[in-house]
Amino acid sequence: MISLSVSAQDHFRKLIEQQALPGLGIRLVAVDPGTPRGDCQLEFCEPSDRDGTEWEVECEGFSLFVDADSVPFLDGATIDFDRSATGGQLTIRAPALRGSVPGADASVVERVRYVIESEINPQLASHGGRVALREVTAEGVVVLQFGGGCHGCGMVDVTLRGGVEKTLRARVPEVTGVADATDHASGANPYMRRSAG
């Protein structure tokens, strides 16, 4: 269940009234749910934007629609609006939005994915790069796909061995190594160009 304070409902109702569109509501979507980057997105939602799978929260004078895929991450959320002299501040608290650290009983894949999203990708983002998990082999080798500034970067081997592999092996003992499945020759905008030859 999502709860909206009276002030949040007043705020949304005023925004909707300004649009003067019959049946207009508010859509709430979880973005990157279950990861440390998890966030919420709010937008107007016309009747034609809805497919019937949304979770509807009826409010005074409008409805809040939550995308079906977002419901597990937004259940228990609270939305509030604090008025101030300069306007106000909308606050959404969703305890399940960013997920939690996988427990000891979680699979190797879950634990590797969590380390990639919580530690490795935030570091790679400083250079415009990212990495995605392709698979974890039966032998414990983590196969990765680099993107962004890491795709075609001349320093990707250093990043792979000195950063990514070192971090994964320290955090997930079952990891025996890492492999790069990226076609670096097709990298369009690498952080550091590879030397010719």
Mapping DSSP to helix (H, G, I), strand (E, B) and coil, where does residue 93 land?
strand
Q: Verify that 133 and 80 share a domain, yes or no.
A: no
What is the pLDDT at residue 169? 95
- CATH number for 88: 2.60.300.12
Q: Are residues 76 and 146 in the same domain?
A: no
Number of domains within the chain = 2
Helices (H), the chain: 6-19, 71-74, 108-115, 121-125, 156-158, 166-171
Beta bridge partners of 39: 31
Predicted local confidence at residue 101, as pLDDT: 77
Q: What pLDDT, on the 0 to 100 scale, is given for residue 188?
A: 62
Burial class (CB in 10 A: 0-12, 13-18, 19+), 43: exposed
Residue 197 pLDDT: 46
pLDDT of residue 30: 94
Residue 66 lies in a domain: yes
pTM higher than 0.75: no
List the domain range (segments joined by +) for residue 114: 108-186
Per-residue pLDDT tens listing for the chain (197 residues): 899 999 999 999 999 999 999 999 999 999 988 777 789 999 999 999 999 999 999 999 999 999 998 998 998 999 999 988 888 899 999 988 887 778 878 999 989 988 888 889 888 888 788 899 999 999 999 999 988 888 877 778 888 888 999 999 999 999 999 999 888 776 566 565 655 54
Please indicate, yes or no, whether residues 84 and 162 belong to a single structural domain of this protein: no
Same domain, 113 and 45: no
The CATH number of the domain holding residue 135 is: 3.30.300.130
